[in-house]
Structure 1
């Protein structure tokens, strides 16, 4: 599996060679974009030009944290990517507790399913976004990573997604209708297009302030970058 280091992040981050899931045709990113730029393309949300009710609801459900938070953290991920699961298992809860729940950071999840490598990644993204329509994204997000080994190589992952979604608190009929109609597919496609244009070539990738991190960096590295972004947002240097 190819390994990718982040873009210019100082001596601490430069010391790591970080594992990531990459497209088979991936080349090193030629550009970077800040989390704020990615968010601004959606007017403060993530749905881009999509304004239908399903996309709007799904977009709202996959953003967490105070609207007044000075720093965006945008997670670009693939539910079937083992390195995305690694970051989730090791770092997500800590970042959420220390920065999101304290009002310092606003967190959003963007989909980048690597379907050529991960046969069920696209369906998992649709499952999560259909849950997001009902404001149950984060509950299913947790369950999809936790149960990744149960569905990642399944010939038909939908029954597993169904049981996980129901356990996450969705209205089953509405979720199933969303899935069968592929109602959130345009939003997932928009996620891929927007993040690719912003320099994403692998998962997980993160935009933190004006930094791009490609790979499952340890939580201490995120603390360094987030704290620097917070200091800059507050007028520091």
Structure 2
């Protein structure tokens, strides 16, 4: 009888311990989410991948940035194949328009396109990098942007895009991204964060950081 009582108490204690551990783990996970939301405002950013992906990767970029174009061509395809498409990583792009006056125009175009269709933004992301010229030139023009929309983005309404491009709403989104980069003291582009931690943007360094987060 006494043995049965001790066994029952042991079971109750074990369950209580599991509940406490589960509560702590849940709290840690949500603290990370809250930290990320505070730092990057995930829900307002342009994203690629599943919302429930355990690892959040943030890229601060400028469409005029040559290194960002290289990252798009060499790193993103591998990141997409090995992590994003498998539901392990969700990628967020945050505007960091710092190179020239037309950097802001490129950022606004991305926001205006994303507002209409999420997938179209990532097509635009590739297309504008393919159109990149010297960073000393003001090559991001409304003519270029309209050509991309008309020729490559059938899901985007051209007239709505033209209206949104210079709207207060879109301008404010770009400004908030710039303020966020300044607050985080972003030094250059691409700057990459893995679950809130700054990482080197090369694929091997990112892979190491992502795999470390996946093991937690």
TM-score normalized with structure 1 length: 0.69
Q: Deviations over 1:116-172 (max 9, x none)?
A: x32321111011111011112111111111111299724671100111122223110
Q: CA distance change for structure 1 residues 121 and 133 in 2, over 3 Å: closer, same or farther? A: same
Q: Deviations over 1:153-205 (max 9, x none)?
A: 24671100111122223110100111143531101111111232123121110
1:174 lines up with 2:160 in the alignment: yes
Query: Partner of 2:75: helix, strand, or coil?
Result: helix
1:194 maps to what in 2?
A: 180
Matches of 2:70 and 2:175 in 1, distance apart? 24
2:63 maps to what in 1?
A: 79
1:67 lines up with 2:51 in the alignment: yes
1:98 lines up with 2:96 in the alignment: no
1:147 lines up with 2:169 in the alignment: no
1:225 lines up with 2:202 in the alignment: no
Q: Tell me the matched-pair count.
A: 181
Alignment of 1:149-168 (within 5 A): 149=133, 153-154=137-138, 157-166=141-150, 167-168=152-153
The runs of at least 4 consecutive aligned structure 1 residues that moved more than 3 Å come to 40-44
Q: CA deviation at 1:38?
A: 3.7
Which of the pair is proportionally richer in helix?
Answer: 2
Q: CA distance change for structure 1 residues 43 and 86 in 2, over 3 Å: closer, same or farther? A: closer
Contact 2:66–2:135 under 8 Å retained in 1: no
**Residue of structure 1 aligned with 2:191, choices 201, 205, 216:** 205
2:109 maps to what in 1?
A: 127
Query: Partner of 1:203: helix, strand, or coil?
Result: coil
TM-score normalized with structure 2 length: 0.75
Matches of 2:39 and 2:198 in 1, distance apart? 17
Q: CA deviation at 1:227?
A: 0.8
Structure 1 regions of 5+ residues with no counterpart? Answer: 1-33, 48-58, 233-237
1:184 maps to what in 2?
A: 170
Contact 1:85–1:145 under 8 Å retained in 2: yes
The one of the two structures with greater contact order (alpha-carbon pairs below 8 A, sep at least 6) is 1
1:107 maps to what in 2?
A: 91
Matches of 1:83 and 1:155 in 2, distance apart? 17
Q: CA distance change for structure 1 residues 138 and 44 in 2, over 3 Å: closer, same or farther? A: same
Q: Which structure's CA Rg is the greater one? A: 2
